[in-house]
Amino acid sequence: MRWSHLSARPDDASLLDAAPVASPLPLALPGAVVRTFDTPGFSGMTFYEIRAKSMINRVPGASRVPFQYTINPYRGCSHACSYCLGGDTPILMADGSTRPLSQLQVGDAVLGTTGAGPHRRYETTTVLDHWSTSKPAYRVTLADGTRLVASGDHRFLTDRGWRHVSPAEPHLPALAVGDRMSGVGHFADPPKESPDYQAGYLCGLIRGDAGAPLTASPREGDAWIRADGYLEDVPMHEALRWPEMPTGGWYRGFLAGAFGATGVADRLAIVFTSRDQGFLSRVTEALTHLGLPSRRPPHPQLGGVGSVEVTRDLWAALRFRHLTGTIEAPLDASGVGVRSDPQLTVADIEELGLTLPLYDITTGTGDFIADGVVSHNCFARNTHTYLDLDAGHDFDSKVIVKVNAGELVRRELSSPRWTGSPVAMGTNVDVYQRAEGRYRLMPEILTALRDHANPFSILTKGTLILRDLELLKQAATVTDVGLAFSVGFLDEAMWRAVESGTPSPQRRLDAVRRLTDAGFAVTVLMAPILPGLTDTDESIEETVAAIAAAGASGVTALALHLRPGAREWYAAWLTREHPALAPRYRDLYRDGSYLPQTYQNEIGARVRLAARRHNLHRATPGEARQASPTTPAHSDTEQLTLL
């Protein structure tokens, strides 16, 4: 096994309280030690201890956050928040399906592009070579929240041509914030074959077959074989029933089954035909639910036979296949023009400070489509911690620990090139998550910052910060120290549902009081405010009142932000726990990861009014992240990039 050499020696004293070494990551991380622990608080979790190459990371100049440097000793988070997850990065195959880059093989047919400038077109091409390499990694974030991890010499196709993420040679064209990439946009996640999906599939297949045009040939094959398997778990009478409140899984299965019965695919076209107008109405309803535009063209010459057509473009053709799991629909995208979209604009470029294993392929066209954008060479999956991990459960259960964080911070602060700029912590994942209780990385980091009188700020949900109160007080005598807590609501049932791994809201407010009593001006972010759940007047009033009673110096509201990956996992939780809210969320987040500005402004205004009633200063989002809370800060109430 390629990870066997990464396990710590049996005589390593640090292993005395550790359980047997855990299973390896899907991708090898050179120099890592893999541990699990027997304590209940870390049940089901795996820690990958690495020695990072750098710790103080510079924030891209175009970022909206009011700080330039960050320190992140952890990747991944044990807080288990339902809204704090990443995305995944598949490669587009020639038939419209997707496959992880690490699983591609020489000879596979993928989709690439040919041509130049505005005349570039998609073409089927072949994987000629496939290998892995270890290089310093960068993360590129797009406007829709897609995150792409690549080496600095990796190239993406943009509106300014091919651009290197961070070229080593100054004469090479570099990717920049504001560049617009080319492609079809983020791929949809495939469906899970849940009971709802299976019931929907059977309903679509059987009802679709019953209403098929009389001239149509009887269908046999994979769709009916698949249905036979589903009928072992779903009774026929349940399968034929229209559900009163169909779930997203049911709609996905219904469309897959309907296509198996009456669907036709021709290049980019997806067409359903039937004599049953009610059935076609259900098809339209399901397509609309999944965000796929369609139309009902008239067919007067067909004598009662109608049809539904999905909009004929590559984005819709791919999204239909990926959302429904319809693998039998042929796709021919050759010759289709390559387009761009504002959602593919580069929003952030971050040097990760890690040398990571990255995959590389060579294709006949010299490029391929990675998570919806035209890409070339050395691309790694953009999942949690860029190590081929699942975007949901793995983020909660597999944590990267930079065990040499303290010594690196001290060394970098001692560099003659370091100018003493403020650094922000807790801006990516929480530095005081539960893992910090075992690894104790923060005391050494805080000691180094204190010894160099370097200003810093901390944003956290973790009451473990109180362990380091004495160090914080010492640092505050020689430099500016900014502290902020995140408390979005007080409802304990909601807390257990969406932030199960964090201290309770009341414990966080108790920590605010203790820090305030110690002389710190602690600001509170009411984040995240959940539409339809914690955005009521009662919830806002109760939360602001408690924040004021805790002695906070200021408060600001930040509404829920759902990037791809987080969007799907949160949606699954919402549909399961609060299905009546699903339509509202689809409407609110239909344009991307952020809520409409009008909603954000309304929430901000309501929190400001409550703060005035309780004589509480309204902090800005930037103020809560600055080393000195008295420094003017960004005043927008929109959730910031690195929160």
Q: What is the dihedral of CA 236, 242, 247, 248, to 10 degrees?
A: 90
Please list the alpha-helical segments (H only) found in 245-364: 248-262, 277-289, 314-324
**CA–CA dist 430, 108 (Å, integer):** 41
pLDDT at 597: 87
Residue 531: closest CA among 506, 555, 561: 561
Q: What is the DSSP letter of 119?
A: G
Q: How confident is the model at residue 284 (pLDDT cuts 50, 70, 90)?
A: very high
Mean pLDDT of 482-501: 86
Given a contact cutoff of 8 angstroms between Cβ atoms, the answer to whether 509 and 547 are in contact is yes
**CA–CA dist 376, 107 (Å, integer):** 17
Q: Per-residue pLDDT for 457 more than 90?
A: yes
pLDDT at 621: 42
Mean pLDDT of 14-41: 49
Q: How confident is the model at residue 11 (pLDDT cuts 50, 70, 90)?
A: very low
Tokens of 382: 């953009």
Q: Per-residue pLDDT for 412 more than 60?
A: yes
Given a contact cutoff of 8 angstroms between Cβ atoms, the answer to whether 186 and 205 are in contact is no
Range of weakest confidence among 155-164, 181-190, 459-468, 631-640: 631-640
pTM of the model: 0.50
Q: Per-residue pLDDT for 82 more than 50?
A: no
Q: What is the DSSP letter of 338?
A: P
Residue 500: closest CA among 78, 86, 85, 87: 78
Q: What does the H/E/C string look like for 160-193?
A: CEEEECCCCCCCCCECCCCCEEEECCCCCCCCCC
Name 368's bridge partners. Answer: 375
Given a contact cutoff of 8 angstroms between Cβ atoms, the answer to whether 34 and 3 are in contact is yes
Winning range, highest mean pLDDT, from 54-63, 136-145, 307-316, 622-631: 307-316
Q: Per-residue pLDDT for 497 more than 50?
A: yes
What are 319-358's pLDDT values in tens digits? Answer: 999 999 887 777 888 889 998 889 899 999 988 777 666 6
Give the β-pairing of 69-71 and 423-425: parallel
Q: What is the DSSP letter of 568?
A: H
Q: Per-residue pLDDT for 297 more than 70?
A: yes
Mean pLDDT of 390-402: 60
User: Measuring CA to CA, how many Å separate 196 from each of 88, 242, 247?
Assistant: 24, 12, 7
Q: Per-residue pLDDT for 191 more than 80?
A: yes
Distance separating the N- and C-terminal Cα atoms of the chain: 37
pLDDT at 20: 31
**CA–CA dist 643, 634 (Å, integer):** 14
Question: Residue 197 — φ and ψ, nearest 5°?
Answer: -60, -45
Q: Per-residue pLDDT for 302 more than 80?
A: no
Q: How many CB atoms neighbour CB 207 within 10 A?
A: 23
Range of weakest confidence among 42-46, 317-321, 513-517: 42-46
Range of weakest confidence among 159-173, 423-437, 625-639: 625-639
Query: In this structure, which amino acid lies at residue 178?
Result: G
Q: Per-residue pLDDT for 33 more than 80?
A: no
What are 215-256's pLDDT values in tens digits? Answer: 555 555 677 788 888 887 777 777 788 888 899 999 999 999
Residue 533: closest CA among 570, 581, 586: 581
Question: Residue 623 — φ and ψ, nearest 5°?
Answer: -60, -35
pLDDT at 236: 79
Find all residues with CB under 8 Å of 636, minimum gap 6, and list them.
64, 620, 621
Residue 487: closest CA among 550, 441, 431, 572: 550
pLDDT at 176: 94
pLDDT at 507: 93
Give the β-pairing of 90-92 and 98-100: antiparallel
What are 578-623's pLDDT values in tens digits? Answer: 888 988 988 888 877 778 889 999 999 999 999 999 998 654 444 4
pLDDT at 468: 97
Q: Per-residue pLDDT for 375 more than 90?
A: no
Q: What is the mean pLDDT of the chain?
A: 78
Q: How confident is the model at residue 388 (pLDDT cuts 50, 70, 90)?
A: very low
371 vs 599, higher pLDDT = 599
pLDDT at 38: 63
**CA–CA dist 383, 147 (Å, integer):** 8
User: Measuring CA to CA, how many Å separate 110 from each of 85, 374, 405, 458, 481?
Assistant: 28, 12, 41, 45, 52
**CA–CA dist 384, 87 (Å, integer):** 7
Residue 127: closest CA among 163, 170, 93: 93
